[in-house]
């Protein structure tokens, strides 16, 4: 009995170990096969993979596609355009880094040596160039019958360059150039075979059209009448710094707009966040929400200053064209909207002067003003500087001067006079206010009464000279995103209590002094 039991146990162990050994061998073989099947994907030999990331988007306008060779197909034209822009992009990257990575994909054998030779000159002399092209106006000259060769004249290339030697800026230049280009189709890439710089044709200047809003004799004119901005910076109470997010609610916005209108104000300032709106490819649903907001403002009778590029901070020249496309899509969508009074290029860009290089930021702002003017000649342009001193920058480029005033009220008059002396363009105090926060972080010094007194005095100042203002802000907020003022609790707490209406919806004493 005992013997047969043992025998069965041995049998069981033998069978199980046999199965286990087999399973192990099979597992091993399958792993080896799986390993042998990995490695380079053969499809990568053909250039079929889609590069979906947009890295370089200057404005391209084909002026003519007529050519004596063969009618061009739209997909081919798009591919040529893409590869031509990529050729510019890799060349710009190459001259920035002095590393010819990617050049061979977009220049033929004989053409690429010219770029390599230039690198050989620049690299030992520590010269690098930060460059981008802003716009292209190609005209097709010839497309061959077999679809392998194309010649076009890029009649107007706006190029922006910063030239550095030993990391010191030597020159900043913006030029209009023109090129004659021959490209060949090789292994799925359109590659530059010849490129010759030629003299650009004189451009036609677009006739000035009558705009909705204009500046005359130091005044903003709307519907032929002087318009003094009496406004407020607006975020819905429940979604500060996220106005066009998921909690977007038209009824809330309409109610708030009516509160603003009824308190003797005529304008609001709202914010369009660069990333939130989709960067280079603006999301249609965000545009739709912005449109609803602007339509409501028009219905209620408020004018709007739209601040673009909120939370943008890159400014690198190679990526400029991406921001240009962002602005183009938003600005051209609303170029005829009656409620907009001005595009504010960016909120407090002067705060980036130190970290991002003052000249680069100013270059970006200047270029952006030009871009927006290209797409919208109806509305004004301003820049919301963080201080009266910063507002002296680019004073000739903007239509009116906007600055933020959070200093001691005693400085107000001197600052205003300083700017008035510097320019006769209209001035708008685009942000000002005082927090009514009272707590540990400010030793219980602030209060609603303090705030009311501050606004009372400010309004007296404004009334004296009929000044344009936009206060900060309508509501106290429960939540302040970290990206706005950072993590420090004393900053966050302050920022919560700038409103004229508290978190429970009650008007604070300052509300009496919301306008003059």
Partner 1 sequence: MKKLFYIPVFIIVILIAFSFSYKVMNSEKIGSIILLTKEKTFVAGNPISLTFKLIDDKSPLLYLHHSYGITLIEPINNGNNYTYEIPKAFSKKIGILDYTLILDGNIIFKNRIDIIPNETSSTQLESYFGPRSIHAGLYEYSMLVVVPTDNFDNPLPNNTIVNVHQQFLDNISSKDEKVENFFAWQNIYTRKKAGTILVSSTCKGTDSKELNTIIYPANATNFSINYTRNHNFADGNQLTSFTTSVIKDEYGNEISDGSYVEFLVTSLKNNAILKTNGTTRNGVATAKMLHPPYPDTWNVKAFVTGLAESNSIRVSYKPIINDYPIQFSKDNRRITVGPLKSFMNQLIPDGATVNLHIYNENKFIETKTNTSKEGYTVFNLSNQYYTKTSYSLIIETLGVTKKFENLQYARIAQ
The only residue of 87, 157, 182, 294 in contact with partner 1, by rule CB under 8 A? 182
**The one segment of 147-155, 252-260, 289-297, 500-508 that binds partner 1 by CB under 8 A:** 147-155
CA distances from 294 to 209, 225, 270, 277, 301 (A): 23, 21, 10, 16, 10
Cα dihedral: 205, 208, 213, 219 (round 10): 90
CA distances from 426 to 142, 158, 366 (A): 52, 31, 19
Minimal distance, residue 356 CB to partner 1, in Å: 19
Q: What DSSP designation does 76 have?
A: H
Q: How many CB atoms lie within 10 A of CB 55?
A: 15
**252, 296 in Cβ contact below 8 A?**
no
Question: Based on CB atoms, which residue is closest to partner 1, 195 or 318?
Answer: 195
The only residue of 62, 142, 311, 353 in contact with partner 1, by rule CB under 8 A? 142
Question: According to the 3-state scheme, what is the secondary structure of 394-417?
Answer: CCCCCCCEEEEECCCHHHHHHHHH
Our finding on whether 434 is near partner 1 (CB under 8 A) is no
* Contact pattern for partner 1 over residues 41 through 80, marking x by CB under 8 A: ----------------------------x-----------
**349, 361 in Cβ contact below 8 A?**
yes
Nearest to 235 by CA among 459, 495, 516, 506: 495
Minimal distance, residue 16 CB to partner 1, in Å: 57
**378, 212 in Cβ contact below 8 A?**
yes
Which 286-345 positions form the footprint of partner 1 (CB under 8 A)? none
Our finding on whether 195 is near partner 1 (CB under 8 A) is yes
Which 75-114 positions form the footprint of partner 1 (CB under 8 A)? 95, 110-111, 114
Question: Based on CB atoms, which residue is closest to partner 1, 77 or 485?
Answer: 77
The only residue of 72, 80, 93, 129 in contact with partner 1, by rule CB under 8 A? 129
Minimal distance, residue 83 CB to partner 1, in Å: 17
Pairwise CA distance, residues 75 & 84, whole Å: 14
Total number of residues that touch partner 1 (CB under 8 A): 44
Three-state DSSP class for residue 369: helix
Angle at which helices 109-122 and 74-97 cross, to 10° = 20
Three-state DSSP class for residue 83: helix
Question: Based on CB atoms, which residue is closest to partner 1, 56 or 498?
Answer: 56
Minimal distance, residue 204 CB to partner 1, in Å: 21
Question: Based on CB atoms, which residue is closest to partner 1, 196 or 250?
Answer: 196
Max Cα distance, the chain (Å): 118
Helix (H) or strand (E) holding 191: strand 189-198
For the chain, the first-to-last Cα distance in angstroms comes to: 109
**The one segment of 48-56, 195-203, 447-455, 503-511 that binds partner 1 by CB under 8 A:** 195-203
Minimal distance, residue 124 CB to partner 1, in Å: 11
The only residue of 118, 378, 423, 447 in contact with partner 1, by rule CB under 8 A? 118
Question: Based on CB atoms, which residue is closest to partner 1, 136 or 286?
Answer: 136
Which 162-181 positions form the footprint of partner 1 (CB under 8 A)? 163, 165, 169-171, 173, 175, 177, 179-180
CA distances from 256 to 65, 167, 214, 225, 236 (A): 52, 51, 28, 26, 8
The only residue of 73, 117, 186, 413 in contact with partner 1, by rule CB under 8 A? 117
Three-state DSSP class for residue 167: coil
Our finding on whether 442 is near partner 1 (CB under 8 A) is no
Q: How many CB atoms lie within 10 A of CB 299?
A: 12
Question: Based on CB atoms, which residue is closest to partner 1, 67 or 378?
Answer: 67
The only residue of 78, 148, 203, 332 in contact with partner 1, by rule CB under 8 A? 148
Which 375-404 positions form the footprint of partner 1 (CB under 8 A)? none
The footprint of partner 1 (CB under 8 A) covers 69, 95, 110-111, 114-115, 117-118, 120-122, 125, 127, 129, 131, 141-142, 144-146, 148-149, 151, 153, 161, 163, 165, 169-171, 173, 175, 177, 179-180, 182, 184, 193-199
């Amino acid at each position: 009995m005992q013997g047969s039991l043992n025998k069965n146990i041995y049998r069981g162990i033998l069978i199980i170990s046999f199965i286990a050994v087999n399973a192990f061998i099979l597992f091993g073989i399958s792993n080896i096969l799986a390993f042998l099947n990995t490695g380079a994907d053969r499809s990568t030999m053909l250039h079929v993979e889609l590069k979906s990331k947009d890295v370089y988007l200057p404005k391209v306008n084909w002026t003519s596609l007529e050519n004596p060779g063969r009618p061009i197909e739209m997909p081919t034209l798009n591919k040529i355009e893409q590869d031509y822009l990529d050729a510019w992009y890799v060349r710009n990257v190459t001259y920035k880094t002095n590393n010819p990575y990617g050049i061979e994909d977009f220049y033929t054998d004989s053409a690429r040596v010219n770029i390599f030779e230039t690198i050989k000159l620049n690299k030992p002399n520590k010269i690098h160039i930060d460059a981008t092209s802003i716009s292209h106006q190609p005209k097709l000259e010839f497309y061959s019958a077999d679809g392998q060769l194309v010649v076009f004249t890029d009649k107007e290339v706006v190029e922006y360059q910063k030239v550095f030697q030993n990391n010191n800026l030597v020159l900043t230049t913006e030029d209009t150039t023109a090129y004659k280009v021959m490209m060949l189709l090789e292994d799925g890439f359109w590659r530059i075979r010849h490129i010759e710089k030629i003299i650009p044709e004189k451009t036609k200047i677009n006739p000035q059209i009558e705009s909705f809003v204009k500046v005359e004799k130091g005044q903003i004119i709307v519907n032929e009448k002087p318009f003094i901005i009496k406004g407020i910076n607006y975020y819905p109470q429940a979604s500060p710094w996220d106005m066009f997010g998921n909690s977007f609610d038209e009824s809330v916005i309409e109610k708030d707009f009516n509160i603003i209108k009824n308190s003797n104000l005529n304008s609001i300032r709202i914010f369009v966040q660069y990333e939130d709106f989709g960067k280079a490819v603006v999301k249609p649903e965000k545009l739709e929400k912005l449109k609803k907001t602007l339509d409501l403002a028009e219905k209620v009778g408020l004018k709007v200053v739209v601040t673009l590029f909120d939370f943008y901070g890159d400014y690198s020249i190679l990526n400029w064209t991406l921001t240009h496309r962002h602005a183009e899509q938003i600005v051209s969508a609303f170029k005829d909207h009656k409620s907009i009074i001005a595009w504010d290029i960016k909120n407090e860009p002067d705060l980036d002067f130190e970290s991002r290089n003052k000249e680069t930021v100013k270059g970006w702002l200047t270029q952006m003003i030009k871009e927006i003017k290209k797409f919208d000649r109806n509305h004004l342009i301003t820049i919301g500087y963080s201080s009266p001193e910063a507002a002296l920058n680019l004073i000739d480029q903007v239509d009116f001067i906007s600055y933020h005033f959070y200093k001691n009220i005693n400085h107000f008059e001197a600052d205003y006079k300083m700017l008035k002396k510097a320019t006769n363009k209209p001035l708008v105090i685009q942000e000002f206010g005082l927090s009514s926060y009272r707590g540990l972080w400010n030793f219980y010094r602030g209060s609603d009464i303090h705030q009311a007194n501050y606004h009372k005095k400010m309004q007296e100042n404004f009334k004296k000279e009929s000044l344009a203002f936009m206060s900060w802000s309508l509501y106290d907020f429960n939540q302040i995103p970290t990206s706005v003022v950072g993590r420090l609790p004393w900053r966050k707490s302050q920022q919560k209590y700038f409103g004229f209406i508290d978190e429970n919806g009650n008007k604070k004493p300052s509300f009496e002094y919301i306008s003059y």
